Amino acid sequence: MKPHPCYMDKASTQTLREGLAEYYACNPHVTPPETQPPEFAKILQAHDVGHVIYGCDTGMFDELRILPIFWWTSECNFQRFREMRNTPAVDVMYEEMIRDKGILWLYGAILRVLPALIPELIWLWFKTRDRQNRVPFLEFEPLLDRSLLDIRQEFDLLKLFRRG
C-alpha cells in the first residue's frame, strides 16, 4: 500500500507551501490553477490549499467531506460558497468532469461513499460547532510559509483527523 503524503499527517511540520507542492506532485490529475481564468484559479487554489490543511485526498469521499469542512471551519461558509458557485468557470469544471467521466459515474461514485460519509459528516459537525476562529479561504497567502502543524493547532483542526 502506498504511504500517505506527508501533508496528510496531522502532525506534519512541512510548510503549507511545501504541502501544496507535494499535493500537486501526488495528484497530477488535479487541474493546475495557473491554467484557469484568474477568478476561478483563485477559488481552485484555495480548494487545493484546503486539501492540504485538512489532510484530505482527492477521492470522492474526501471531495464530498471537504465542502462541509470548509463551511464549518473556514471563511468559506455556505453562503459564500453559493456566491462562488455562480462563477462561470466553476460550471465549466463540472461540465468537463461529467463529459470526461459521465453523469452515471459521478452519481455512482457519490452513492458508493454515502453510507460512510453520512456518519462522518455528523461526527464532523459535532466537532466543528460554534467556531469563532476560522481558517482563511481566498486570503490564504499569509499561511504559506507556516508549518501545517502550526496552522492546524491555531485553528483547532487536529481533532478533525482520524488518521496520522
Average model confidence (pLDDT) across the chain: 89
Assess if residue 1 is contained within a domain: no
Q: Against a cut of 0.85, is the pTM above it?
A: yes
Predicted local distance difference test score (pLDDT) of residue 164: 47
State CA 104 to chain mean position distance: 23
82-136 residue pLDDT tens: 777 776 666 666 777 788 888 898 889 999 999 999 999 999 999 999 888 999 9
Assess if residue 140 is contained within a domain: yes
Of 136 and 43, more confident: 136
Assess if residue 121 is contained within a domain: yes
Q: How confident is the model at residue 2 (pLDDT cuts 50, 70, 90)?
A: low
Domain span at 137: 6-160
> Which residue's entry shows cell 464532523?
124
Residue 29 is given by DSSP the state: T
